Structure 1
Amino acid sequence: MPLPVVGMLSSYGGLTQCDWLWKQTPQPFGVWGNMQLHAPDPQPDYLLLYQFNFHERFAPPRRSKIQRLRDVLSLAKPKTTNAIDKLPPQLSQVPKEHTAFLLREPPLPEVRYQNLLNYAYARDYCGYVSGPDDSAPVPAYMPAIWYVNVSFRELNEAPPPEKHSPCSWITSGINRTESHRQRLAFLQQLQESDVPVEVYGRDLPPGTRTAGELSNKWSGMAPYTYNLAIENFADNNWYASEKLWDALLAWCLPIYYGGGAADKLLPPGSFLRLPSLDEKGIEYIREVTASPDAWIEAKDAIAEARQVILHKLNLMNWLSEWVGSKE
C-alpha cells in the first residue's frame, strides 16, 4: 500500500524541487516513517504550507496613478475574483484537516502585522496553524531543517571531523530590521578586534573581511571548533533556527545568541550562551576560542544534541507524527 504523500507550498523562492528536504531522511524519495514528502505533488494526500505568505496573495496589485484614474473614469464594472482563485489548486483539493500551516520567520516587530494576517488567512484553509510566536493560534517551536549538505547517514553515523581552526561565523548583510542592524554593528566591532573569527557570507557591508560565500555550510563549519550562531530574534521562548542546528550537526560548539527555546529543546552543555552583542560578548568569544577545552568538555553533549536534531526535531519527523495523528 503506498504511503500518503505530503505536498508543500512555500513563499520561499527555490523550494519547488521534488527532493526538498530529502537529505533529512536516510530513506529514498523523501520517505520518513509513515509518509513521503514530495513537495510539488499536484494531488497530495496532505499539504504543508511552509511560510506561505497569504497576505501577498490577497494584497491588491499595485497600480500607477494613471491606472487608478482610468479605473475611476471607466464605466466598466471591475472584475471580481473569489479568494480561492488567488491560491494554488492544492488548497481546494486537500481537506482542511489535512492541511498544516507553519510560519517560520521570526516574529520581529517590523513584520508583526503581516504575521497576524497570515495566521488569520491560514485559519480559513488549514486545520493546524502554528508559529514560533505567542500570537500564533498554536505557539510552537519550529521543526528543524538544516543547510549542511551532507547525507543523513553520514551525519548520523560518522565521527566528528578534524577541527583545524578556532571559530567561524556564517552571516549576511541583510539590514531590513533593527535586529539585523544590531548584528551588523556587532560584526563590525568583532572585525575591529583581533579575535580569530573567520566570516563567510553574502552581501556583507563594504570593507568586511570575509573568507567568501558558501554553497554548503558544512564547508564553513566542520573544520572549526566553535561557531557563532546569532539569531535574528532573541526575545521569546519559541524561536530557534537552523543557525543552531547547522553548527551542532557540523560538530561545532555553538556560541549562541538567541531566546530561551534552545534551553528547552537541547541537552544542557551542548551550546554556550553569548552574553551580549557588545564588547562584553567579544571578550567572551576571545576567552572561549583561545583553546579547544570548552569543545572537548562539551563533546558528549554535542553528540546527544545532534541525535535530538536528527531524529526528534527534524521537520520530516514532525510531518510523520502529524500524518500519523490523522490516520
Structure 2
Amino acid sequence: MIDVARLAGVSQQTVSRVVNGHNNVGPDVRERVERAITQLRYNRNSAARALATNRSMNLGVLSYSLPVHGSTMVLFGVAEEARRNGYATSLVSISDVDSDGIRAAVDTLLGDSVDGIVVLAPMSAAAPVLNGLDVDVPIVRFEQGAPASSHAVTMDDGHGARLATRHLLDLGHETVWHVAGPRGWMASDARRAGWLAELAAAQRPVNPEFSTADWTVESGYRAGLLIADDPSITAVLAANDSMALGIMKGLTERGLSVPGDVSVVGFDDMSEARYFQPGLTTIRLDFDGVGRLAVDRLLQLMGSEAGEMIPAIAPELIVRDSTTAPRARG
C-alpha cells in the first residue's frame, strides 16, 4: 500500500478508501490509484485485514433453487461485489424453505464465522422464519414484490407485470392471458397481482390463468399446447422467459405463428431472450444489481450505519418482435 500511495502521489489513507470502495474520492485520484494498483499488481492481504478489523472477511449466502435464472444472477452480483470489497463468500443452499432447513443453513454459516448473511430465498414461506431468527450478524434478504425495507432488496415485479399487460392492451388485444409461475414464490404472486390489477384498471375480462409446477421451458410448452387449442387467445404474459420460450414452441408445433396468431411477453430478460425466434418482448430486471445492492447494504449494517429504506428496483419493458396487433384466429 505504501508503494501504491507513492506511485499515485497520494496518502495511504486515500489508497485504503479506493480499495474499500468509499465514495469520498475524486474520479481523477481514484483513476491514479487504480492505475498504480494495476502496475504494481497490488493485492490486499485478507488475513492481515481480518486481524485489523476483527472480522473474518467472509460473507455468508443462503440460497434456494440456484437453477432459477434470477437467483443465479443475484448470486453472481453478490459474489462480485463481495470480492470487490475484499470479502470471500460461503454458500449454503437449501432444497426446502422451512423453519428447520433455514435455521440449519444459518447455523452452518455462523459456524464459518461469517460477518453477515445475504439470503436469496424469495419465497413467501421464508419471511416469517427469517423474521424470527435471533443472530449476532446482520442479514439482508432478496424479496420480490415486497414493500420497501431497510433489510431487504426488493424488485417491483407487480409494476413489471402491469407494464407488460398494458403493452399488449395498447396493441389492441381485448385481454391478456397469463401463464403463472409456481405457487409460493414472491415473484409469482407479485406478477399475478400486477396482471390482475392492470386488467381491472382497463376493465378488461379476466380469464383463468394457466398454472405451472415450475419455471421451466417444459411447463411453458405444456401451456402453449393448451393455448393453441383456444382460438380466443391472442395475447399471453408468461411469468418468466423460459416459460415464454416453451409457449412459443408449443404454438409453432400446432401451426400457429408468434406474433401473428398469438403475441407473447416474457419476464426477466435473460441474456438469450433477444435470440429467441422471434426475439422476445419481455420485462427486464436488474438481478446483478440486486446482488451488488444487497452486499452494499450488508456492509453498511456491519459498520453500524443506520439502515435507510431501500427503494424497490424498477423494471423496464423491452419490446422486441414477439408482440404485435391482434388478428382473428381461425
Say whether the fold is shared (TM-score over 0.5): no
Larger Rg: 2
TM-score (norm 2): 0.34
TM-score (norm 1): 0.34
Structure with more helix by fraction = 2
